[in-house]
Amino acid sequence: MKKETIYSGKTVTLAREETILPSGVRYTQEIIHHPGGACVLPIFDNGDVLLLRQYRYAAGGYIWEAPAGKLDVAGENPAQCASRELIEEAGYRASNIEHLITILTAPGFCDERLHLFKGSGLTPEKQDVEENEVIEVHRFARAEISKMLASKEILDAKTLITLKLCGY
């Protein structure tokens, strides 16, 4: 079938693709191709959670989220990506990285797969944020996370899913 690249950027590629649906109908759709990513929820031994307050221009300002990043390093698997992002963004290393689930972030128009992990056995490392990242690292007790969830202060989908899968 026909495939046309409309735009190719640093993070995504936009393509117009023609296909035949299972119903036999010929269909043309614009699809965003993304390399995928990994997200890790860092949990301390006492149950405290580490979240980032990160500036996201597309979201209109600061949001709470778990450390995450793109699968954009050659030969790196999702668990390695999650570990790298935890060190870079939060300044912590996890001795245990447990895969929780792989989700489709926007399957109606995007092929991104996001691998969600729980990180434990945390030890401090040197934080190394990229120049285009504005990040504050915060540690929260379980009760504080519960309040943030109840007040709908956390809106990031990957973070909400990891919190729920980790029992928060």
Q: How many of the other CB atoms lie within 10 Å of CB of 19? A: 14
How much is the average pLDDT of 3-16? Answer: 96
Using one digit for the tens of pLDDT, what is the confidence trace for 26-50?
Answer: 999 999 999 999 999 999 999 999 9
Domain of 147: which CATH number?
Answer: 3.90.79.10
Q: How many domains does the chain have?
A: 2
Q: Quote the CA–CA distance of 88 and 16 in Å, as a whole number.
A: 35
Catalytic residue numbers read 131
> Once rounded to an integer, what is the mean pLDDT over residues 5-15?
96
Q: Kindly give the residue spans of alpha helices, DSSP state H, lying in the chain.
A: 78-85, 142-150, 157-165
Percent of the chain exceeding pLDDT 90 equals 99
User: 107-151: per-residue pLDDT in tens?
Assistant: 999 999 999 999 999 999 999 999 999 999 999 999 999 999 999
Give yes or no: residues 27 and 62 share one domain.
no
CB-based contact 29:16 (threshold 8 Å): yes
Same domain, 39 and 113: yes
> Model confidence at 1, in pLDDT bands (50, 70, 90)?
confident
81 and 154 co-located in one domain = yes
41 and 109 share a domain? yes
**What 3-state DSSP class applies to 165?**
helix
What is the distance between the alpha carbons of residues 104 and 40, in angstroms, rounded to a whole number?
Answer: 16
- DSSP state letter for 48: -
* Domain coverage including residue 3: 1-33
pLDDT in tens, 88-115: 999 999 999 999 999 999 999 999 999 9
